[in-house]
Amino acid sequence: MSRYYLIGERLSHSFSPAIHRAFGRYEYELKELPPKSLGAFLRSGDFSGLNVTIPYKQAVIPFLDALDDAAAQTGAVNTVVRRDGKLIGSNTDLAGLRAMLVSAGIALRGRKVLILGTGGTSRTALAAAAAEGAAEVLRVSRSGREGALTYAEALACHRDAEILINTTPCGMAPDPDACPIDPDVFPRLAGVADVIYNPLRSRLVLSAQARGIPAVGGLRMLVTQAARSCELFTQTPLPSGMVEAVCRSLRDQTENLVLIGMPGSGKTTVARLLAQKTGRHFVDTDEALVQNTGKTIPELFAERGEAGFRALESALLRELSREGGRILATGGGAILDPENRRSLRHNGRLFFLNRPLSLLAARADHPLSDTTEKLQALYLARAPLYVACADAVVPAFGTPEAAAEEILAILKKEVLTG
C-alpha cells in the first residue's frame, strides 16, 4: 500500500492533510519526527512519498540519492519520491512561492528584497527573487550567520527595502501576535509576502495591509506546492483549476465571518441565520461573556467598569479568533481596540451591518446606549470606525434574512471572481 506523509518536528497547525485529501488520490498523514529519528525513518523505506517542512528541508538531503533541478538550485527539499528504490528530492515550494507573489501582484523585478530567515524556505525565496529579476537580495536572521544581516543591521542600513519575504515561523499559530519585523520602518515598502498560512493573515501581513501595501499570506503557496507534490507522487497532472478550487475551499473552511455594528443592528439574528445556512458554528461574544462569568453585561460594567469589561472582551476575542470556520456576532464596542481588530482579522472577514440610527433603539441591557441621547452619541462616534475596518458594508435596513443573503452573495461573488 502506498503511504504518503508530511514530516517535520511540530505539525499540529498543518493544513496539508486536508489539501491532499481534496486531491483525492491517496492517504496522507502527518508524522512528527524528532531530529534523532529523521535518518532512521528515511532509511526505513516505509513510505512512497513525503513532504518535508521545518526543520528538515536541508537535513534530508544527505539521505537522498538524487535532486531535481529546483532542489539543486535552491539547496532545499520539500518533496521526496521513491522511484525504483531510490529517493529523489524535489522543491515544489519554488513554484508555490512564485504563484503566491503573482496572486498578490507583488513584482520583484528591479527591487530591493529582504528575506527574513536562513532556513530551507529562505533558499527557495532567494531562487525566486533571482528568477524574478530582483535588483538586490539580502537575507536577515537573528544570528547573522551564513552571510545574513542581523535584524539590527537591516533596520540600521536597509530601510530602503521595497519587498519583505518572511520565511520564518514567527507569527505562526499558536502565537499569531508575534511579528518578525515592523514593516512601518520601511518607507519604500511595496509588497510583503509571508509563507505563514495559519493564521490566514499574520501580524506582518495585517500591518502592511493597514498601510495599503500589497501583502499576502502563504495559503496559495501551500496549496500550489502540494499540487505539484501530488503530481510528482502520482506522475499524473491534476485537473486545471484544482489549485484555485482548493484555495477557495480552505479559505471557506478556515475563515471566520465576523459581524460588527451598533447594538440592536441585528448581528445576533443575522449570525444565527448564517450559521443555519452555512453549517458553521455560531458564537455571540456578549452571550459568551455572560456564560463565562455568570454575570449580565450591565452587572459586568457595574462591577468592573468599561475598562474591565473591555479586558474580558479582548481576551475572549483573542481566543475565538485563533480558530476558524465560525460566525462571530461581536459586541458593539469590540472593534474600538486596535488589538481586537487585529485579532479578528487574523482568521476573519469583517461585515458591518449598517442599520441607520432612525431604526435603532436604546436598550436597557447595553449600558453605553441605554438612552436615546447615549445611542445617538455612540452612533456618531462609531459609525466611521465600523466603515473603516469592515471588509464589506451590508445594508441592514430590511429583514435579517435580507442581510444574511447579502453576505452570502458577497461571499459567492468573491468565490466566483477570486
Work out whether the CA dihedral 399, 405, 411, 414 comes out positive or negative.
negative
- Distance in angstroms (rounded) separating the CA atoms of residues 251 and 206: 17
Cis bond upstream, residue 263 (ω within 30): no
DSSP states along 242-284: HHHHHHHHHHHHH-EEEEE--TTSSHHHHHHHHHHHH--EEEE
Cis bond upstream, residue 55 (ω within 30): yes
- Distance in angstroms (rounded) separating the CA atoms of residues 163 and 214: 10
295 tagged catalytic: no
**Are the C-beta atoms of residues 93 and 121 closer than 8 Å to each other?**
yes
Q: What are the chain's domains?
A: 4-91+227-239 (3.40.50.10860), 95-221 (3.40.50.720), 255-417 (3.40.50.300)
Q: Is residue 245 packed enough to be buried (19+ CB in 10 Å), middle (13-18) or exposed (0-12)? A: middle
**Over its length of 418 residues, how does the chain's per-residue pLDDT go in tens digits?**
578 999 999 898 889 999 999 998 899 999 999 999 999 999 988 899 999 998 999 999 999 999 999 999 999 999 999 999 999 999 999 999 999 999 999 999 999 999 999 998 999 999 999 999 999 999 999 998 888 999 999 999 999 999 999 999 999 988 999 999 999 999 999 999 999 999 999 999 999 999 999 999 999 999 999 999 999 999 999 999 999 999 988 988 889 999 999 999 999 999 999 999 999 999 999 999 999 999 999 999 999 999 999 999 999 999 999 888 999 999 999 999 999 999 999 999 999 999 999 999 998 888 888 899 999 999 999 999 999 999 999 999 999 999 999 999 998 876 543 3
- Given 31, 36, 57, 277, the catalytic residue: 57
Placement of cell 497547525 in the chain: 13
Placement of cell 445594508 in the chain: 395
DSSP states along 363-400: -TT-GGGSSHHHHHHHHHHHHHHHHHH-SEEEE-SS-H
Q: Which of 240, 325, 334, 248 is nearest to 285 (CA)?
A: 334
What are the b/e assignments for 309-341, b being 16+ CB within 10 Å? Answer: bbeebbebbbebbbebebbbbbbbbbbbeeebb
- Distance in angstroms (rounded) separating the CA atoms of residues 139 and 41: 32
What 3-state DSSP class applies to 212? coil
